[in-house]
Amino acid sequence: GGACDARVEGTVLVLWSSPTILEGFFRVSATVRLRLVRDGQQPQETVISGTEDYRPGSGDILEAESNRQAAMDRLAEVLMRDGFDRLASTW
């Protein structure tokens, strides 16, 4: 097959962080809309949600923010992979 120009565009619809029922853990949650745009065809869309737990740290605000950011990075990777799999299955 020939090459094809395609890209995935994403929009964060919801992002929040809250304590879990387990003491000492927080959860970051996100919902994103991903669009597969390729070769001038009608874009395909999917909406996907997920969560990632993290420990806020020992009271240091920089440690807490670093842990939250690492959780968001892990969540973004999972959401992108799962969303791309959904979109690619309709290719």
Task: Kindly list the domain boundaries of the chain, sorted by start residue.
Answer: 6-88
The first and second tokens of residue 22, run together, are: 């387990």
The Cα diameter of the chain in Å comes to: 55
Determine the Cα–Cα distance for residues 91 and 89; give it in Å rounded to an integer.
6
Outline where DSSP puts E strands in 1-91.
6-19, 26-38, 44-54
24 dihedral zone (left: phi>0; alpha: psi -120 to 50; beta): left
The reported pTM is: 0.82
Q: To the nearest 10°, the Cα dihedral for 33, 84, 81, 21? A: 30
Going residue by residue through the chain (91 aa), what tens digit of pLDDT does each one get? 556 688 889 999 999 999 999 888 999 999 999 999 888 788 899 999 999 999 988 878 899 899 999 999 999 999 999 998 998 887 6
